[in-house]
């Protein structure tokens, strides 16, 4: 993803089929200001950049880990609180043999780090969307499951996403967002919207990842409208207790089903079980088999 934010298309680095080979990625990364973080060991190093909301930046560390990452962190609050948090973060990273610091002041203004710096300071910025240029007619759709803040969960989600992207021939654009109580990975599937085969591959890949994540116990916190039914179906604890509650609430508050039918996978009774749900089985079909008469119409007919 860092390479893609430069704004050059994939064809500038690789024109073959399938995913971009690792050696091509490493060569391109070596030409960036932060360089290629990979060394010839069983592990793949990552890069870290951190800063705080008052533009008092920390640094960028390199260390060996099971994955190649750029980490952007931020700390908010009074200066002594920010500095305390950043010191703790720095101390933990420095426990890794071979870690070193790179002063962000040495990075050019076009480096992606500064985009994250502006966003953390509350300044709108769309610099990172240059990765949409990775393919012709670039478009994107996201995969966003939530997990505990544990290394094992991060590895499981990353490996799962990597496997599916390789299967469907899509370059992997992942980002982990770590909060105080949870962590979520956002995987942007970038595809050529003008190519029906590429569109289908992206959708099939995403639907597979949703089911894979659910099998591990991870649920998405956001999704595209077309995937709402599938994602809602993954929250199926206790024989679908949550959906049963949502449907009962929907029917009580909106008996005629006129308010955003199907939003978040919650269909009104008039639409329910009539084929309106958009799932893996329904494919591209978005039309159901009509609706039941509105409750008011039924009452009028009886009168």
For residue range 249-303, list pLDDT tens digits in order: 999 999 999 999 999 999 999 999 899 999 888 877 788 888 888 766 665 666 5
User: Which of 274, 188, 194, 187 has the alpha carbon at shortest distance from 229?
Assistant: 274
**CA distance linking residue 227 with residue 207, whole number of Å:** 8
For the chain, give every domain's residue range.
1-131, 135-222, 233-302
* CB 107, CB 33: distance < 8 Å: yes
**Across all residues in the chain, what is the average pLDDT?**
85
Please name the residue that has the structure tokens 């890949």: 205
**CA distance linking residue 301 with residue 223, whole number of Å:** 40
* CB 201, CB 191: distance < 8 Å: yes
Side-by-side strand order, sheet with 60-65: 70-73, 44-50, 60-65, 101-102
CATH tag, 135-222:
3.40.462.10
Task: State residue 2's pLDDT score.
Answer: 81
For residue range 135-165, list pLDDT tens digits in order: 999 999 999 999 999 989 999 999 999 999 9
Superfamily of domain 233-302: Vanillyl-alcohol Oxidase; Chain A, domain 4 (1.10.45.10)
Question: Mean pLDDT, to the nearest integer, of 207-226?
Answer: 96
């Amino acid at each position: 993803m860092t390479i893609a934010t430069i704004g050059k298309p994939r064809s500038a680095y690789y024109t073959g089929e399938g995913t971009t080979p690792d050696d091509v990625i490493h060569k391109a990364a070596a030409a960036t200001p932060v360089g290629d973080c990979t060394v010839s060991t069983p592990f793949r190093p990552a890069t870290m950049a951190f800063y705080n909301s008052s533009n008092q930046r920390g640094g960028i560390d390199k260390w060996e880990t099971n994955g190649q990452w750029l980490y952007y962190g931020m700390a908010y609050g009074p200066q002594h609180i920010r500095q305390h948090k950043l010191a703790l973060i720095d101390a933990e990273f420095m426990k890794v043999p071979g870690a070193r610091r790179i002063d962000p002041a040495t990075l050019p203004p076009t480096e992606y780090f500064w985009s994250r710096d502006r966003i953390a300071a509350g300044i709108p910025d769309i610099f990172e969307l240059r990765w949409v240029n990775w393919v012709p007619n670039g478009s994107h759709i996201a995969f966003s499951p939530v997990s505990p803040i544990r290394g094992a969960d991060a590895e499981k989600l990353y490996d799962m996403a990597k496997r599916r992207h390789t299967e469907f021939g899509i370059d992997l654009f992942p980002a982990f967002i770590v909060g105080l109580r949870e962590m979520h990975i956002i995987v942007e599937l970038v595809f050529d919207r003008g190519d029906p085969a590429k569109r289908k591959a992206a959708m099939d890949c995403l639907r597979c990842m949703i089911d894979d994540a659910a099998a591990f116990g991870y649920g998405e916190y956001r999704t595209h409208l077309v995937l709402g039914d599938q994602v809602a179906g993954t929250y199926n604890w206790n024989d679908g207790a949550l959906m049963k509650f949502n449907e009962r609430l929907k029917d009580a508050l909106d008996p005629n089903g006129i308010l955003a039918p199907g939003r978040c996978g919650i269909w009104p009774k008039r639409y329910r079980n009539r084929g309106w749900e958009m799932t893996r089985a329904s494919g591209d079909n978005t039309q159901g088999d009509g609706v039941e008469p509105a409750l008011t119409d039924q009452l009028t007919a009886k009168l």
